[in-house]
Amino acid sequence: MAEVRHKSGKPLQVNPHKLSQPMGATLAFLGVDRCMPLMHGGQGCASFTKVMFTRHFCEPIALQTTAVNDVIAVLDGGDYSILESVKNIHDKVAPELIGVHTTGLTETKGDDLRGIASKIDVPLVYVNTPDYQGGLESGWALTTQALIDQLTEPCDRIDAQKIVLVPHVSLQPIEVEKLRDFIESFGFKVVAVPDLSSSLDNHLGEKQASLSSGGVTVAEVKQLADAAFVVTLGASVKPVGTTLQKKNPAIQHRHFDHVNGLQGTDALVAWLLETSGRGDRLPPVVERWRKRLQDAMLDSHFSIGQTRFLLVAEPDHLASMAASLREVGGKIALAISTVDSPILGDIEADQVIVGDLEDAEKMHDAYDLIIGNFHTEALAHRVAKKAVMRGFPNYEEVGIALKNDLLYEGGAYFLFEIANAAERMREEQVHHEREQIKLQRIA
């Protein structure tokens, strides 16, 4: 497999794409209905996060801060700032849940979150997410575990039809919805945790942003433990399976690293057919989309098969994109991950590194087309390549929440978009070459 470099080896990040653990926690709490994420840190920690997600999703973002200042940082053990915040939030917006997550600032001063939480009698979930550890994926996963650990009631019954779906952080809201509908078309009931598909899916609502405007309800999180299966999607959320099983050992855990491309989706479908007892009777629309993907693969393989890619993303997102592209012969020259992850070793690429966009810039001879967040656009300009936008953050495009890359359907659209981008890039190169030749002839 790939040559993997697990550590950056540099004393700094230059043009970073890594995002912080509390940011992942915020996003997870936004996937719970009528929740107020409360970031325990300086006001800037929450502000930077709020601005980023507001611009990325083009949606108002509910997020509050405990607004720790220099005096409080020294004198308070967290009690004052958290208790006061909870009181102020509760008086104003009465959320179903307050999601307290820490930052580097409050972890450095060492607040006892569990102790403080025990003094609070409004619904609250807490999670330790210092930003000098982990990243976006781990913040999301730890928060999902905390939600289940602290809210889900133990159970000894099983509802044979019920599946708990745990998506990784890089799935767009529409992808969660598509996946839920897909699984439900096999006769199951699906609860996604967290669920951004109804909160950050670019729908026109009241837009007050006083609380999250959709997502899994607190009541549903409490009732998770009667599910027959927990399906985790993405290596970063794999441990969540075990967390839920602690509430009911009869729950079966099925893990998928991704459900992208033909084989990735086939694996999910095979399992759904087997588990649902449908034999080989596919829902007709699923069968049709599989054929469309097969055709899309043939139509796009010529373009993608001659393209060398740079992928820049969170580890689970890298794995899913790489799988899709590899199926039609795309060469993953370089995959740059935000953080280390066991999944990196499974990515079919020439090189996989934990790094930044400075690393990408240095190795620009290795690739043609870039897939990554909006920062890769400036990179593409500098190294005379093209970039297709995927991942956090993307301030340059609209409609990101409705981008669907997974399953047969999204896989087909993904391949078309990439193949078309690669062709346009080559078209420009050819045009440029011809112009050069013309100029030479004239000279």
* CB of 395 or CB of 413, closer to another protein: 395
Token couple for 286: 């699923």
Interface pick for another protein out of 65, 152, 236, 307 (rule CB under 8 A): 65
Residue placing its CB nearer to another protein in the complex, 41 or 241: 41
d(CA 85, CA 100): 10
Cα→Cα distances 55→170, 191, 296, 396, Å: 16, 28, 32, 9
In the bound state with another protein, the residue whose beta carbon lies nearer, of 130 and 173, is: 130
Pick one of 214, 330, 355, 393: the residue that binds another protein (CB under 8 A).
Answer: 393
Phi and psi at 38, nearest 5°, equal -125, 105
Q: Which residue, among 8, 1, 2, 42, has the nearest Cα to 22 in the 3D structure?
A: 42
Choose which of 1, 69, 287, 433 interacts with another protein (CB under 8 A). 69
CB of 354 to another protein, least distance (A): 11
| Residue window 241-280: x/- pattern of binding to another protein, with contact defined by CB under 8 A | ----------------------------------------
Residue written as token pair 């609070």: 120
Query: To which residue do tokens 């759904």 refer?
Result: 272
Q: Judged by CB under 8 A, does residue 88 bind another protein?
A: yes
Q: Give one DSSP letter per residue of 190-242, joined into a string.
A: EEESS--TTTSS---S----SS--SSB-HHHHHTGGGEEEEEEESGGGHHHHH
Of residues 124-143, those binding another protein (CB under 8 A): 130-133, 135
Q: By CB under 8 A, which span of 202-210, 212-220, 307-315, 428-436 interacts with another protein?
A: 202-210
Q: Please list every residue from 317 through 376 that binds another protein, using CB under 8 A.
A: 358, 374-375
User: Which residues in 13-42 contact another protein (CB under 8 A)?
Assistant: 13-16, 18-20, 22-23, 38, 41-42
Q: How far is the CB of 409 from another protein (least distance, A)?
A: 27
Beta bridge partners of 5: 353
Give the position of tokens 């997600």: 53
Q: Which of 382, 432, 393, 417 is nearest to 50 (CA)?
A: 393
Strand partners, 99: 37, 125
Site string for another protein, 99-118 (x = CB under 8 A): ----xxx--xx---------
Q: Binding another protein by CB under 8 A: which of 57, 85, 240, 414?
A: 85
